Amino acid sequence: MGSTILLVDDEKWVRESSQRLLTESGYEVITAEHGQRALDFLSKNPVDLILLDIKMPVMGGEEFLQAMPPQHTDIPVIVITGQGSLDIAVNCMKKGVYDFITKPFDIPQLLHSIERALEKRNLERKARTYQEETVRNLLELSTQKKRLETIISCMANGIMVTNRHLEIVLHNPALLRLLEVSGPLTNPVPLNAIVQDDSLIETLKKIQSGEPLEKEFVAQEIRVGQRVLRAISAPTLEPERHVFWSVAGAVTVIEDVTLFKQLDQMKSDFVNMVAHELRSPLVSIRQLNSVLLEGLAGPLAEKQEDFVKRGVKKIDALLALINDLLDVAKLEAGRLVQKRTAIDLSELIEDMVLLMQLRAKDQGILLTHSCENMKPVVADPRNIEEVLNNLLTNAINYSPEGGKVTVTARGVDNFVEIKVSDTGVGIAPEELPKIFYKFYRVKHPKTRQVTGTGLGLSIVKGIVEAHRGSIHVESVPDRGTTFTVMLPAVQGDPGVCPS
């Protein structure tokens, strides 16, 4: 339906002819014979435009304009009158009349004036709506900003926002407390004015440069006085003209982990102490049981010998756990790698495979190995033996009878790659990220009989990374698993070991 027009005129023929004309043009027309009737109609019904005569009985046009309620002052009014004096026109315009047309009026002129008046009103309504939305949005933004400032100010963790110029543009009181900065700061402030840790500054520079990150954030530990702080930094993005998003800066959350580090050290010291205290008596008990099994204390009956053998197995399992715990403690203290020397991995792999052949044969597993284009590496031989022992033991234990375990090693650029593959039960995708956690063991119905501490792969990862290498795993459930170890190589003549 078109716009509604209220036509106010005391002459009936004007009302009827104008109503017919405007209805044919698509407007809905309501008529009133004087101003009072028009006011009564306006009090109950909305209209979009008013066509108003000046000289009318009861209430004329000028009186109507004076009496119009404030809520209707935005309705455009076009005066149509036979009293076309300049004074009347000026007076009406002062009262907010949109246009002034004298009778007899030109029909195209009237229709054009109505269209322009309605368009003007629509534009004014839209402008008013936009203005109201803008005010509402500004108020909402202001409220959200106050809430955010309150939340950030009350947080125990330090918050620091830096821009593309490595200036701090937002911070909270906790940040100053954790970084031991005295006095309030006025943003923006140069990053190096309050952050003295070079590694954190370099991380924020890297983020700002737009270099791809391994993860969505960078976590690192920094020291401030006696405190150990963990800083987690992530890029902030903003829209840019030529690309979808660009790095505008970084957000860093800093938390005090001093207490956790102290508790972790206490835990490690306790485990180390207990393991040492348990190891000596267990070794003594095992030696006594070995004396009994060898018959040095007299012959044993069959049942007695069986019980002693079971006891020895349990002692061996406890000693393995203790050794693993001691290795973890050494790794955490940075003391596991004792002696670095240039070693030939092909010989080490061959020796370890020969050592494992009997176990593999007993479980019906085919164990093979191959080495090509080998290069020497600088490492602790005992540590590398432990890596190979753990990976091969797992591969054999988690492979069914008739399975196959393969060790392949080769030189790749400046690294030596060692792959240990099996055709075992595999690892579910959701468990792959957890297998290097301490005490974590893969759960599978086919491997319930496999015993272990859940520390082996954690120790392997620690040893490899202590040698500046890397380890990753690929697995397909019920088809097998492959562990790949990459160790940095030194220059040397390539060697080949037989399969």
Q: What is the pLDDT of residues 357-380, one digit of tens each?
A: 988 888 899 999 999 888 888 888
At 494, the pLDDT band (50, 70, 90 cuts) reads very low
Residue 449 clears pLDDT 60, i.e. is over it:
no
At 428, the pLDDT band (50, 70, 90 cuts) reads confident
Residue 242 clears pLDDT 70, i.e. is over it:
no
What predicted TM-score, i.e. pTM, was given to this entire model? 0.50
Q: What are phi and psi of 104, to 5 degrees?
A: -70, 135
% of residues, the chain, pLDDT over 90: 16
Cα gap 220→273, rounded to integer Å = 29
Tokens 């108020």, located at residue = 139
- Range of weakest confidence among 213-217, 417-421, 489-493: 489-493
At 408, the pLDDT band (50, 70, 90 cuts) reads very high
For 4-127, CATH gives: 3.40.50.2300
- With beta carbons less than 8 A apart as the criterion, state whether 366 and 352 touch: no
At 90, the pLDDT band (50, 70, 90 cuts) reads confident
Q: What is the pLDDT of residue 337?
A: 63
Cα gap 405→388, rounded to integer Å = 13
Structure tokens belonging to residue 48: 């979009």
At 313, the pLDDT band (50, 70, 90 cuts) reads confident
For 156-256, CATH gives: 3.30.450.20
Tens-place pLDDT, residues 160-184: 999 888 888 888 889 888 988 887 7
Neighbours of 134 (CB within 10 A): 10
Residue 132: its H or E element: helix 107-154
Tens-place pLDDT, residues 207-240: 888 776 667 788 888 988 888 999 999 888 776 6
Q: What are phi and psi of 187, to 5 degrees?
A: -75, 145
Strands (E), 180-296: 189-190, 218-224, 227-239, 245-256
Calculate mean pLDDT across residues 60-81: 86
At 448, the pLDDT band (50, 70, 90 cuts) reads low
Q: What is the pLDDT of residue 320?
A: 78
Structure tokens belonging to residue 379: 């490492």
At 499, the pLDDT band (50, 70, 90 cuts) reads very low
Q: What is the pLDDT of residue 484?
A: 94
Residue 379: its H or E element: strand 377-379
Tens-place pLDDT, residues 332-358: 666 666 677 888 888 899 999 998 898
Cα gap 42→72, rounded to integer Å = 8
Measured between alpha carbons, how far is residue 198 from residues 69, 188, 205 in Å?
Answer: 71, 20, 10
Give CA angle at 353 (351, 356), nearest 5°: 110
Structure tokens belonging to residue 446: 């086919």
Cα gap 346→344, rounded to integer Å = 5
Calculate mean pLDDT across residues 85-102: 78
Tens-place pLDDT, residues 377-397: 888 888 888 899 889 988 898
Q: What is the pLDDT of residue 486?
A: 92
Structure tokens belonging to residue 319: 């000693």
Q: What is the pLDDT of residue 491?
A: 63
% of residues, the chain, pLDDT over 70: 91
Q: What is the pLDDT of residue 498?
A: 40
Q: What are phi and psi of 215, to 5 degrees?
A: -125, 180
Residue 493 clears pLDDT 60, i.e. is over it:
no
Mean pLDDT of the chain, nearest integer: 84
Give the CA-trace dihedral at 233, 234, 239, 243, to 10 degrees: 120
Domain boundaries, the chain: 4-127, 156-256, 261-333, 341-497
183 sits in the region (left: phi over 0; alpha: psi -120 to 50; else beta) called left
Cα gap 142→150, rounded to integer Å = 12
At 495, the pLDDT band (50, 70, 90 cuts) reads very low
For 341-497, CATH gives: 3.30.565.10
Tokens 């010989």, located at residue = 347
Residue type, 286: R
Tens-place pLDDT, residues 9-46: 988 988 888 899 899 888 999 999 998 999 999 988 88
Calculate mean pLDDT across residues 121-140: 90
User: Pick from 468, 458, 335, 481: which is nearest to 397 by CA?
Assistant: 481
Residue 497 clears pLDDT 50, i.e. is over it:
no
Cα atoms in the Cβ-side hemisphere of radius 13 Å centred on 493: 2
Cα gap 381→337, rounded to integer Å = 9
Tens-place pLDDT, residues 268-278: 777 777 777 77
Q: What are phi and psi of 438, to 5 degrees?
A: -65, 135
- β-bridge partners, 231: 220, 254
**Residue-wise DSSP of 403-417:** -EEEEEEEEETTEEE
Instruction: List the end-to-end C-alpha distance of the chain, in Å, as a whole number.
Output: 91
